[in-house]
Amino acid sequence: MSAGFAETLDWSKGDGLLPLIVQHAHDGRVLMLGYTNSDALALTLDTREVHFWSRSKQRLWRKGESSGHVLALVSIAMDCDRDSLLAQALPAGPTCHRGTPSCFDGDARAHPWLNELETLIAARANGDPASSYVAKLLAAAPARRAQKVGEEGVEVALAAATGDIDGIRSEAADLLFHLLVLLRGAGLPFADVVGELAQRHRDRD
């Protein structure tokens, strides 16, 4: 971030305060909205942890200073009018004081259905294997989930090799579903996989 970033911003409208939206750097979910001033912004850029100006406490506030749920800054950008900021960050825990990932209820994530599906799979994990396909897969040995992903991958490849567009769509959906089940079984959040892709993309820049 260039040293002149803060000077470029229009601090006049908000009496030295600018709204700062924080977005999860991997899944796109809006985590919270706070206010920053020039000191809080300088601290954010220096420490790479998101700082705010607390309007209620009238002091600088390092997000997570008491809870430990800090927001590690990935990037920060201004809007078209230079009077609001969007930070991409990786949260160390729930961002909201209520213990929820976001201060906003509902789902504003960039891949909402895949994330929703991940949540549904997690909810079925402890279900009855006799009536729930997901519970049955998750109760089985890891090799069973690995086998399913392998089979679905081959089916995607076969459909692609024969130019079967409907087949590619259907088998790719099966593959993504079983991949999410495999990730659940391995205890790996989908956001970590998206994060891995995003990291590679950033490394290339």
With respect to Zn ion, which residue has the nearer C-beta, 96 or 198? 96
- Token pair belonging to 33: 């909205």
Q: How far is the CB of 98 from Zn ion (least distance, A)?
A: 6
Length of the chain: 205
Distance, in Å, from the CA atom of 36 to the CA atom of 53, rounded to the nearest integer, reads: 5
Give the C-alpha separation, 71 to 62, whole Å. Answer: 9
| Shortest distance (Å) from residue 19 CB to Zn ion | 15
d(CA 8, CA 185): 48
Going by DSSP bridges, is the β-strand pair 85-91/59-62 parallel, antiparallel, or unpaired?
A: unpaired
Exactly one of 42, 45, 96, 117 binds Zn ion (CB under 5 A); which one? 96
In the complex, least distance from residue 8 CB atom to Zn ion, rounded to whole angstroms:
29
Of 15-23, 64-72, 90-98, 107-115, the segment contacting Zn ion by CB under 5 A is: 90-98
* Count of residues touching Zn ion (by CB under 5 A): 2
Distance CA 42, CA 6 (A): 8
Q: State the minimum distance, in angstroms, from the CB of residue 75 to Zn ion.
A: 22
Q: Is 103 in the site for Zn ion (CB under 5 A)?
A: yes
Span from 89-97, 104-112, 129-137, 185-193 in contact with Zn ion (CB under 5 A):
89-97
Q: Does 146 bind Zn ion (CB under 5 A)?
A: no
Complex with Zn ion: residue 9 or 22, whichever CB lies closer:
22
* Under 8 Å between Cβ of 81 and 60: no
Q: Provide the minimum distance between the beta carbon of 26 and Zn ion in the complex, in angstroms, as a whole number.
A: 20
Nearer to Zn ion, 72 or 96 (CB): 96
- Give the helix/strand (H/E) hosting 173: helix 165-186
- Here the tokens at position 150 are 């392998």
Q: Which residue's entry shows tokens 């470029």?
A: 8
- The reply to whether 21 sits near Zn ion by the rule CB under 5 A is no
Per-residue tokens: 69: 């749920």
Q: Which residue number, 102 or 124, has a Cβ lying nearer to Zn ion?
A: 102
Residue 66 beta carbon to Zn ion: minimum distance, rounded to whole angstroms: 14
CA atoms within 13 A on the CB side of 23: 16
Q: Report the interface residues with Zn ion, using CB under 5 A.
A: 96, 103
